[in-house]
Structure 1
Amino acid sequence: MNAVLGRRVTRLEDRPLLTGRGRFVGDMVFEGQLYMRIARATCAHGRIAAMHLDAAKALPGVVALWTGDDIADLPPIDFRDPAATALAPYRQTILARERVRYIGEPVVAIFATDAYIAEDAAELIEIEYDEYPVTLDASGPLGEFAPGLQTEPIMLEQGYGDIAAAFARAHAVIELTLKIGRHSGVPLETRGAIGRYDAANDILELHGAAKVPHRNQEAMARFFGRDHAHLHLHEGHVGGGFGIRGELYPEDFLVCLAALRLGRPVKWIEDRREHLMAANHSREQEHHIRAAIDKDGVVLGLEDEFFHDQGAYIRTHGARVVDLTIGMLPGPYRIPAYRAKGHMRLTNKTPAATYRSPGRYEGSFVRERLMDAVAGRLGLDPIIVRQRNLVPKDAMPYARGLGALGTDVVLDSGDYAGLLDKALKRFDWRGRQAAIQARRTKGEYVGLGICMFVEKSGLGPKDGARIGVLPDGGIEIVTGSASLGQGVETALAQIAADTLGVDYRSIRVIHGQTDRIPYGIGAHASRATVLTGNATHQAAILLRETIMKAAADLLQLPVASLLIRDSIVSAREGGHGPSISLRDLAVQMPDALHSEGWFHTDHMTYPYGVHLAQVCLDAETCLTKVESYLVAYDVGRAVNPAMVEGQIAGGFAQGLGGALYEEFRYDERGEPLSVTFADYLIPTLHEVPALDILVTEDAPSPLNPLGIKGAGEGGCTGVGAAIASAVADALQKPEAVKTLPITPQRLRNMLRGPA
């Protein structure tokens, strides 16, 4: 089967999952393994005054019990980029030492012969605290993190142009205060990890790795002071990642440390309550934004100051979310002058990090609310305001004058106005406006909303892949990528098969195993298909050259006269004459048919999209119903359109949750109020409407041979903004929606509030 690139072929990775043969960390059992349970802080901020551990230690089956004093020689958890030295004092230790800073912080680790014994032991532990004042408002006065350290570890600032001159010549200035609630990824599979020490070979193993195994191997090697060759991370099946899975948490280090010290494998699986209070949160920001505009609604200058609620510690991502919010906030619009300040603040809440479309979900909500406010103040059509401000197609590549994730933001390609036109036509925007007006005359609250945005993908600087012919004639690809369910095995197989002339189903893709390949950045920032895909493409080109040369020598034919079809090398003309299968070629040349390919890039690629929504508001129940929704997204080139659509649909459901339902809330003492699905509301099939998806390939990226841009986050990015826009339109109050999620209580206040 040839020419599979760009086709909707069946995914390779699904059979074991559909037949109940998946191997998640919960399915893994090693002989003699122990089980770990964590006793967590029940105080949001305080000094550990006393710990009563004797009853837990005495419980039959308890093998060991550790506090922070037992592992005081170990460093805090490092950042993915250890160069972030200014943030180092704000890192988290793997068990609390002297002081706790959020409810759910690990305080005691229990190791037992049975998971239920470990849980019983944790419940017998009593910890006394001297409570300190609690900080819950990131935009409020600064507090003390530790002696000599305030609760603002860093303030980032970027900008360009003459912002003062822009506001001086403005026809009008529009100012808004906007807030985004605290959300998180809630995967079907909660976090889990197994540490195992192979003493005979001096190899420490972590099973249950995900997302960035090689980056985590580097961090754990520094932590334990071990050579990379003696520390292996193994990825199994992963029941959802969404940014929060696969980062290093205290529990990952604890199971490995226990495996070393106790000499037995150690397994830990969190329950859902632990997940909701201890896994990374994200999103929570408060923006004070203002725009200088002319009389036609053209933005002359944009200024934003925002406060990012980081929670109690800075985890492995460092300041990435703040950095991305600033660098990507202008979106698809020409902004002649821009200035943004991001305050990263610590509070006594669960630490925050990245969650699908970090910084762009937040920034798109803020920017698009502003564009709707411009239209409302000037009495203009919101579509026209956006069209007047878009970066034109002929301006590409478009240098922003900003940076994000260590690289300059240079929009590589795009036809933003063209995609908007296609989306409006597909959605029948004008026809819907007429129908909605008729419904409004009958007293219904119905509205249309829009979000336009630019995503980022393909984070460099490089990635590599190894590819070779197996003895049975099949092809094996070994990569440092990772699979979180996005279909990376199928995508890489399609790319290689298209070049090699083989059936993509004969290709085996290995990923997430640090003992098989010494390099890799994993699967994050919508980078896997762009970076690993192009590395695979380069490796396949080199392997094809090797195969053709070897076959030409054996068949005594010129290389130019040969082709590969269905894993057989034969004469190009007529298909007659000598031929040889890849299997036979591998038998004759067992060590020769392999290659390694690399792809390097200095800049990210920038896919872009349009979200359009139609909502209806129930004035009695104050519920928001999404009646219709369209996501239009340009990915440059789709390796497998069905998988792109799947990524968009999944992202949309998560974005919907953040727009209408999901929010981590705390009481005045810092007690989390959203630790069950009765309180943290995720959308079910009943709440998720039918979704129309328009995938376009109008602007292939000039930055890689395949023209690919990432597709992992665009389904999520614009949902909060588009639904907010539609709700405001339904209320006929362009600036009414200022906070996400739009809960019934908030909608009730908007219904009763001023016009």
Structure 2
Amino acid sequence: MTTTEWIGARAPRREDPALIRGRGRYVADINLPGTLHMAILRSPMGHASINSIDASEARTMDGVHMVITPDDIPDHITQFPVVWRLPGQKDSGIPALAEGKVRYVGEPVAAVVADSRYAAEDALDAIDVDYETLDPVTDPEAALEEGAPVINEDWGDNVAIHHVFAGYNALGECHYDAEAFDNAEVTVRGRLKIGRHSGIPLETRGIVADWDEIHGRLTVHSESQVAHLFRTELAASLGLPETAVRVLTPNMGGGFGNKWDRYPEDLLVSIASMELGRPVKWIADRREGLMSTVHGRAQVQEWEMALQSDGTILGLRGKVINDLGAHLHSVGIGPAWVTGAAAPNQYKIANYYCDVIAAATNKTPASTFRGFGGPEGIFGAERMMDKAAKRLAMDPAEIRRKNMIQPDQFPWFNAAGAVYDSGNFPACLEKALEAADYDRVRAEQKELREQGVYRGIGISSYIHVSGFGPSPILGYLSYYTGGYEGSTVKVDPNGKATVYTGMIPMGQGTETTLAQVAAHHLGIDMADVRVVWGDTDQTPYTGFGSAGSRSNVAAVAVIRAVEEIKAKAVRIGAGMLEADAEDLEYADGMVSVKGAEEMRSVSLAQVAQQAYWAHALPEGDQPFLEATYVYDPPNFTTASGCHVVVLDVDTNTGRITFRNYVIVDDCGPVINPLLVEGQIHGGVAQALGGALLEEFVYDDEGQLLTTSFMDYLLPSFTDVPDMEIHHVVTPSPHTDGGFKGMGEAGTFPPGAAVANAVTDALSHLGVEADELPITPSRLWGLIQEATR
């Protein structure tokens, strides 16, 4: 491999040297001269009216510069909007402070700005809020019952939306047939639950706002994953021109989708800075982070599958109830919608129907979280596949083989409206089974069981509709942002390149990946490529940012910009070499006469120098060697794969011990195997947390009981198994390079794979692992119930 062949190279992450030396710069590290500090008074109740707020004593305390109550918010300030507004979805917004009532524990009620965080916290204790307790509702199914307490009175009930997937594919064809379920030889039903949990970044949320009154400009240091859209919405809510707001994003200690959303504190800190004319800073403590950063997952699912006796699926229908929390957040019911769209998974299911109901409860709002509803859909699909296999006495692998979409059937129009562009699902399954030595493990199960070792095998295949983005499709779905990604590439007079991107590195290796892509296509060393990100004044606008596994979209924007630069380099090189442009080619950082590369060629640096001198530019060309390209993909890309888990269950304690974890992933051609493996490792570890440990638990009064890491259990290295990773490569047919997204893929299958393995291990007891997380206590209870 030469130094110009960078796609496919295991290049170390260039973001890491500063971070591992403790020289990263996070929002908490930004200390501007004269900075004041904000603390937030949060609701201690799940549901209550606010009769009055008396902040008079707090306003007079030493060091306090400002107290913000709802009455102190200027009239022109508007709530942050919900950007995904599906037809029929009720209106909602994200208020800066609770208005007239509180709807969840942790909802902001008032804010104090003081010389120090300590002084601000002390002043919070002096604010007297008169609450009148209201009946809470914390169960999403109970919230749908007649007579349930209504959380948002203007809705009239607790249903944010009832969306129906009626079986239409993207061609407008509907194959839903209810009679197929009545007449099927076999029907299988399942009721599943997925616990409420979330991303839990190492770095909690924070923001610094600095208002420059002289120039009428607000500079915001933010952890937003989508800085440009954040700027758009913040400017609109504050009543400022967008050009009057600059968003700077420093290093980010994890995002996981949680930091894609907009939050009340973003408005409060900005309002305070504009009012006081000084920088204002707010950093969440861990308790605040757990109770006020958006939650995720939280679903109840009911499914029915119709089959022939040979295992052929005749139809799938179901109901998904999404525990929305107190109100809609930035993406509306988007994750629950994706659950309904993903449930047909890798299978030839044309007969499909699904009700998606979003129910408001007195809990922290649920919104964006890594996987964005896909893991929930895969959990439902793959649990139902194993239930069907058990009912038919078929091997779980065989029923999947029988129903999988075949490689020659793409593009596949699934019955929920998605279009799968490419894949080889059977190859992923077979490779995973072979790597796990599936047949041998199956053969050993009976003998091990006789020895008191309860070993189970779990399979979970998945699709991951990635590169979330075609803007016309987002428009069709009433998603009020664009799906494009832009890139500007500039080559300086010395032949070094700079890439400007709206993407935000947050651990996924964006800076490294885009540098590799640019270096590869320019034919230069990766060390000669600089990547600029995190400044809305310098980088191209992006309406989606770092979410939805979109590095493949950003990579194409870089490729297309580089192609324009190369074309201009050839035109300039033609004059330098006194040749026709048609007789030249660009390769390995050189412009050369075809067939005479050794004798007649000029380097990229030489061409760039001519472009800057502009002494003899081709007619119609301007000085400099740079290009901007905005790429709006024609479709999503379909990543896919299969996980196979082998584990043992201790029936005395409910403890699970992993014996093997095999992963086969198809994200198209791999730009950087090192980064892909790291993303898979991280995604699986995060998903195993939700499968085995993590859960936000509320009592009947709406009190969050898991407000520290003593109660909210994150996986440690002892909980995460070694992983064996393999790849199948099917390039996307409509993306330059064939790349597909993969940053979220590791989160999709683990929940189902583990649940299927646990159920398999305890099949002799009839235990069904249908609720996540499968904590030791929960599993022990199922075992005890089965052995009574």
Check whether TM > 0.5: yes
Equivalent residue number for residue 406 of structure 1: none
The residue identity in structure 2 corresponding to 1:392 is Q
Rounded to whole Å, the distance in 2 between the matches of 1:560 and 1:478 is: 30
1:210 touches 1:484 (CA, 8 Å); kept in 2? no
**Is 1:80 the counterpart of 2:83 in the alignment?**
yes
Shift of 1:100: 0.3
Pairing partner for 1:455 from 464, 471, 476: 464
The residue identity in structure 1 corresponding to 2:413 is A
1:80 touches 1:216 (CA, 8 Å); kept in 2? no
Equivalent residue number for residue 27 of structure 1: 29
1:452-502 Cα distance to aligned partner (Å, 9 max, x none)? 111111122322211111244310111222221111111111111121111
**Is 1:716 the counterpart of 2:716 in the alignment?**
no
Equivalent residue number for residue 288 of structure 2: 274
**Is 1:508 the counterpart of 2:530 in the alignment?**
yes
Equivalent residue number for residue 532 of structure 1: 554
Shift of 1:688: 0.9
Pairing partner for 1:490 from 512, 515, 522: 512
The residue identity in structure 2 corresponding to 1:122 is L
After the TM superposition, which segments of 4 or more aligned residues of structure 1 sit over 6 Å from their partners? none
Shift of 1:587: 3.6
1:667 touches 1:673 (CA, 8 Å); kept in 2? yes
Question: What percent identity do the matched residue pairs reach?
Answer: 36
CA 1:623–1:124 in structure 2 vs 1: closer, same or farther (change >3 Å)?
Answer: farther
**Is 1:171 the counterpart of 2:185 in the alignment?**
yes
List alignment gaps of at least 5 residues for structure 2.
168-174, 471-483, 613-622
1:294-314 Cα distance to aligned partner (Å, 9 max, x none)? 101221111111210010011
Rounded to whole Å, the distance in 1 between the matches of 2:221 and 2:555 is: 25
Shift of 1:380: 1.0
Rounded to whole Å, the distance in 1 between the matches of 2:42 and 2:657 is: 39
The residue identity in structure 2 corresponding to 1:751 is I
Aligned-partner SS, 1:454: strand
Rounded to whole Å, the distance in 2 between the matches of 1:117 and 1:679 is: 29
Shift of 1:572: 6.2
CA 1:555–1:148 in structure 2 vs 1: closer, same or farther (change >3 Å)?
Answer: closer
1:210 touches 1:483 (CA, 8 Å); kept in 2? no
2:344 touches 2:415 (CA, 8 Å); kept in 1? no
**Is 1:443 the counterpart of 2:459 in the alignment?**
no
Pairing partner for 1:400 from 397, 408, 414: 414
Worse-matched range after superposition: 171-180 or 653-662: 171-180
**Is 1:470 the counterpart of 2:492 in the alignment?**
yes
Worse-matched range after superposition: 497-506 or 678-687: 497-506
Worse-matched range after superposition: 440-449 or 181-190: 440-449
Rounded to whole Å, the distance in 2 between the matches of 1:511 and 1:731 is: 50
Equivalent residue number for residue 705 of structure 1: 736
Aligned-partner SS, 1:535: helix
Rounded to whole Å, the distance in 2 between the matches of 1:256 and 1:471 is: 41
1:413 touches 1:701 (CA, 8 Å); kept in 2? yes
Pairing partner for 2:400 from 372, 386, 389: 386
1:39 touches 1:109 (CA, 8 Å); kept in 2? yes
Rounded to whole Å, the distance in 2 between the matches of 1:586 and 1:370 is: 60
Rounded to whole Å, the distance in 2 between the matches of 1:562 and 1:466 is: 25
Shift of 1:191: 0.5
Pairing partner for 1:412 from 386, 409, 421: 421
Rounded to whole Å, the distance in 2 between the matches of 1:695 and 1:412 is: 18
Equivalent residue number for residue 133 of structure 2: 131
Rounded to whole Å, the distance in 2 between the matches of 1:84 and 1:413 is: 28
Rounded to whole Å, the distance in 1 between the matches of 2:745 and 2:91 is: 34
Shift of 1:573: 5.3
Pairing partner for 1:227 from 209, 218, 241: 241
Worse-matched range after superposition: 377-386 or 616-625: 616-625
Equivalent residue number for residue 65 of structure 1: 67
Shift of 1:519: 1.6
Rounded to whole Å, the distance in 1 between the matches of 2:68 and 2:129 is: 14
Rounded to whole Å, the distance in 2 between the matches of 1:336 and 1:457 is: 22
Shift of 1:281: 0.3
1:210 touches 1:512 (CA, 8 Å); kept in 2? no
Equivalent residue number for residue 102 of structure 2: 100
Shift of 1:98: 1.3
Aligned-partner SS, 1:39: strand
1:670-693 Cα distance to aligned partner (Å, 9 max, x none)? 110111001000001111111111
Pairing partner for 2:201 from 187, 190, 200: 187
Equivalent residue number for residue 261 of structure 1: 275
The residue identity in structure 1 corresponding to 2:563 is I
**Is 1:731 the counterpart of 2:762 in the alignment?**
yes
Aligned-partner SS, 2:296: coil
**Is 1:690 the counterpart of 2:754 in the alignment?**
no
Rounded to whole Å, the distance in 2 between the matches of 1:501 and 1:472 is: 14
Output aligned runs, 1:281-292, within 5 Å: 281-292=295-306
Shift of 1:657: 0.3
1:629 touches 1:691 (CA, 8 Å); kept in 2? yes
Rounded to whole Å, the distance in 2 between the matches of 1:362 and 1:52 is: 44
Equivalent residue number for residue 678 of structure 2: 646
Shift of 1:450: 0.8
Shift of 1:85: 8.0
**Is 1:118 the counterpart of 2:125 in the alignment?**
no
Equivalent residue number for residue 552 of structure 1: 574
Equivalent residue number for residue 153 of structure 2: 147
1:55-85 Cα distance to aligned partner (Å, 9 max, x none)? 422321110001111116222221234x558
Rounded to whole Å, the distance in 2 between the matches of 1:118 and 1:88 is: 37
1:249-297 Cα distance to aligned partner (Å, 9 max, x none)? 0011111111111111111110111001100001000011111111012
Rounded to whole Å, the distance in 1 between the matches of 2:373 and 2:694 is: 17
**Is 1:432 the counterpart of 2:441 in the alignment?**
yes
Shift of 1:525: 4.2
Aligned-partner SS, 2:197: coil
1:80 touches 1:219 (CA, 8 Å); kept in 2? no
1:611 touches 1:631 (CA, 8 Å); kept in 2? yes
- Aligned-residue CA RMSD (Å): 1.9
The residue identity in structure 1 corresponding to 2:178 is A
1:217 touches 1:228 (CA, 8 Å); kept in 2? yes
Rounded to whole Å, the distance in 1 between the matches of 2:160 and 2:699 is: 24
The residue identity in structure 2 corresponding to 1:306 is V
1:526 touches 1:711 (CA, 8 Å); kept in 2? no
**Is 1:38 the counterpart of 2:40 in the alignment?**
yes
Equivalent residue number for residue 786 of structure 2: 754
Rounded to whole Å, the distance in 2 between the matches of 1:189 and 1:28 is: 14
Shift of 1:129: 0.9
1:302 touches 1:338 (CA, 8 Å); kept in 2? yes
2:39 touches 2:124 (CA, 8 Å); kept in 1? yes
Equivalent residue number for residue 5 of structure 2: 3
Rounded to whole Å, the distance in 2 between the matches of 1:734 and 1:359 is: 29
Shift of 1:19: 2.4
Shift of 1:608: 0.6
CA 1:333–1:323 in structure 2 vs 1: closer, same or farther (change >3 Å)?
Answer: same
2:204 touches 2:286 (CA, 8 Å); kept in 1? yes
Rounded to whole Å, the distance in 2 between the matches of 1:331 and 1:436 is: 29
1:483 touches 1:523 (CA, 8 Å); kept in 2? no
The residue identity in structure 2 corresponding to 1:495 is V
Rounded to whole Å, the distance in 2 between the matches of 1:575 and 1:359 is: 53
1:645 touches 1:695 (CA, 8 Å); kept in 2? no
Equivalent residue number for residue 172 of structure 2: none
Shift of 1:734: 6.2
Worse-matched range after superposition: 356-365 or 669-678: 356-365
Worse-matched range after superposition: 601-610 or 114-123: 114-123
Rounded to whole Å, the distance in 2 between the matches of 1:644 and 1:488 is: 11
Shift of 1:88: 5.8
Q: Number of residues paired by the alignment? A: 748
Rounded to whole Å, the distance in 1 between the matches of 2:778 and 2:593 is: 71
Rounded to whole Å, the distance in 1 between the matches of 2:583 and 2:599 is: 11
* TM-score (norm. length: structure 1): 0.96
The residue identity in structure 2 corresponding to 1:324 is V
* TM-score (norm. length: structure 2): 0.92
Aligned-partner SS, 2:358: strand
Rounded to whole Å, the distance in 2 between the matches of 1:103 and 1:138 is: 17
Rounded to whole Å, the distance in 1 between the matches of 2:23 and 2:608 is: 31
List alignment gaps of at least 5 residues for structure 1.
404-408
The residue identity in structure 2 corresponding to 1:428 is D
**Is 1:421 the counterpart of 2:452 in the alignment?**
no
